[in-house]
Amino acid sequence: MMRELSGESVLLDLKSGVYFGLNAVGTRIWTLMTEGGSLQDVGRVLCDEFEVQPPDLHGDLLQFASELCAHGLCYVAPPR
């Protein structure tokens, strides 16, 4: 469950009852991820929106996704 709060947002893990805070960029990434695209799709949108080069972004994006997975907030789906 996610709620936006003035630019930032709070994710709630309904299994553990633990909240996770996301800054504005994290909120945007989470929103794009929940729209069902691949991480690559998310990266493409972010590169356009934030005017950054893919190599500068992909490491951070993968790390963010890894942290979400580590907390059980998302998982890696098999290719369609």
Partner 1 sequence: MIQLTRRVLICDETPSQITALRETFDSTHAVHLPAFLSGDLLDEVQRAIRAAAFYDRSHGKNGDIGREECMADNSALAMLVLLANDTRLITFIRSITGCAPIGCFDGRVYRMRGTAGHFDRWHSDTGVHRLIGMSVNLSEGAYEGGRFELRSTDSDHVLWQITNTGPGDAVMFRISDDLVHRVTAVQGENARTAFAGWFQSRPDFLSLLRSGRAAASLGA
**Which residues of the shown chain bind partner 1 in the complex (CB under 8 A)?**
1, 3-6, 8, 10, 12-21, 67, 71
Which of 1, 80 has the CB closer to partner 1? 1
Least distance from C-beta 65 to partner 1, angstroms?
A: 13
What is the residue type of 14? L
Least distance from C-beta 66 to partner 1, angstroms?
A: 12
Other C-beta atoms closer than 10 Å to the C-beta of 73 total: 19
Which of 15, 80 has the CB closer to partner 1? 15
- Asked if residues 10 and 23 have their Cβ atoms less than 8 Å apart, the reply is no
Closest listed residue to residue 73, CA positions, set 21, 23, 6, 4:
21
